[in-house]
Amino acid sequence: MGTSSILCLENGKVFNGLCFGYDGESIGEIVFNTSMTGYQEILTDPSYHSQIVLMTYPHIGNYGINSHDDESKECFVKGFIVREFCPYPSNFISEMTLEEYLIKNKVVGIFNIDTRELTRIVRKEGAQRCIISSKEKDIDRLKEKIKMSPLMKGSDLTLKATCKEIYKIGNKKNRKNVFVYDFGCKRNILNILNQELDVNLIVGPCDTDVNIIKEFNPDGILLSNGPGDPSAATYAIKNVKTLLGYKPIFGICLGHQILSLALGMETFKLKFGHRGANHPVMNLEDRKVEITSHNHGFAVINSEVDGVKITHINLNDDTVEGVESKVNKCFSVQYHPEGSPGPHDSRKYFKKFVKMI
């Protein structure tokens, strides 16, 4: 900790800071998250695959890391940028410091950066590729490495974030069974369905064949969150299109985008995405506003498609936050109803899904 480190952006801007976490080099797409807490959930969220996360809240790490709050079995963030991190956390369930966790998972971090200036650059110029390095000091060499790295647009990352084989959670008799397409599913989505709503789950890889799903004969299908460009996951769009009308479908985040594409809509890349726990979303059916948790860099284009109704709108930028097709027995939301910034503003959609099945 404390050795010099460099953050270089695709636009050529360079920030000098100090290294914490894993001592090395990492390349990814820089994005910012406005949450004040929840850094452990952010680090373990599969939707951050191939991204370097900038925390806008200045003080990170003060409650440490524990073994209960992970959203997956892995740490998916490629790099971590903070203004100031706390090396001595105070929390009765803390098991290690943030830096110890980053070292354990080989995540490169940089601190003592002007995160306000950096956030303004991303807001103005958009999410872009960047590199963090405590090894290479040649700026021209760092810029060349950035140019050689893949763009997020057009990248299908679901195969890298999904489970490897089908597994089951719960096997109670006289309970509904849901097949979960794992595009990079967060653990709390599964916990709510299984532990709170008593649903048996069959979780399968993102490219699970439709015929295999039909052999299980589930009562419903859930399309999970996940990373990457939804339009690049062509196999997933094709499978969901085949499943339309078969059983009720509920899509979350990337699952919402894939469902929308299967219904005939289109997606586009947002300038800097939505990532935080304070996004206001209006439900157009009851005109109520929900405070929601977000993590996505792509969105559905607002357009008219036969049989599809837009149900939710983001009040910050009017982007589509939810769709529904009653004829196809499906609906979706762009945000994370398993997140709790409201704290329970959006939990009702899990209950709606279970009621449908």
CA distance 64 to 66: 7
**Fold of the 158-356 domain:** Rossmann fold (3.40.50)
DSSP state of 327: T
Domain ranges of the chain: 4-148, 158-356
Residue 338 annotated among the catalytic residues of the structure: yes
Task: Give the residue carrying structure tokens 């910012």.
Answer: 32
Catalytic residue, candidates 10, 321, 324, 338: 338
CA of residue 26 relative to chain centroid, distance: 19
Contact residues for 268 (Cβ-Cβ < 8 A; gap 6+): 298, 299, 301
pTM of the model: 0.95
Residue 206 annotated among the catalytic residues of the structure: no
What confidence score (pLDDT) does residue 344 get? Answer: 74
List of the chain residues with pLDDT < 50: none
Catalytic residue, candidates 49, 274, 294, 336: 336
Q: Tokens for 151?
A: 């763009």
Q: Outline where DSSP puts E strands in the chain.
A: 4-9, 14-21, 25-33, 51-55, 59-60, 79-81, 84-85, 108-111, 128-133, 167-169, 177-182, 200-205, 220-223, 249-252, 267-283, 288-300, 309-314, 320-325, 330-333
Using DSSP, state whether 319 is helix, strand or coil: coil
Is residue 79 within 8 Å of residue 53, measured between CB atoms?
yes
CA distance 291 to 50: 27
Catalytic residue, candidates 206, 253, 290, 324: 253
The total number of residues shown for the chain amounts to 357
CA distance 23 to 55: 19
Q: Round to the nearest angstrom and report the end-to-end CA distance of the chain.
A: 52
Residue 2 vs residues 17, 65, 134, 172: alpha-carbon distances, Å: 9, 21, 10, 52
Contact residues for 78 (Cβ-Cβ < 8 A; gap 6+): 26, 27, 28, 48, 50, 51, 52, 107, 108
Q: Does the domain made of 4-148 have the CATH classification 3.50.50.60?
A: no
Task: Give the residue carrying structure tokens 């699970």.
Answer: 208
Residue 253 annotated among the catalytic residues of the structure: yes
CA distance 5 to 326: 53
What confidence score (pLDDT) does residue 138 get? Answer: 94
Of the candidates 111, 101, 100, which has an alpha carbon nearest to the alpha carbon of residue 69? 101
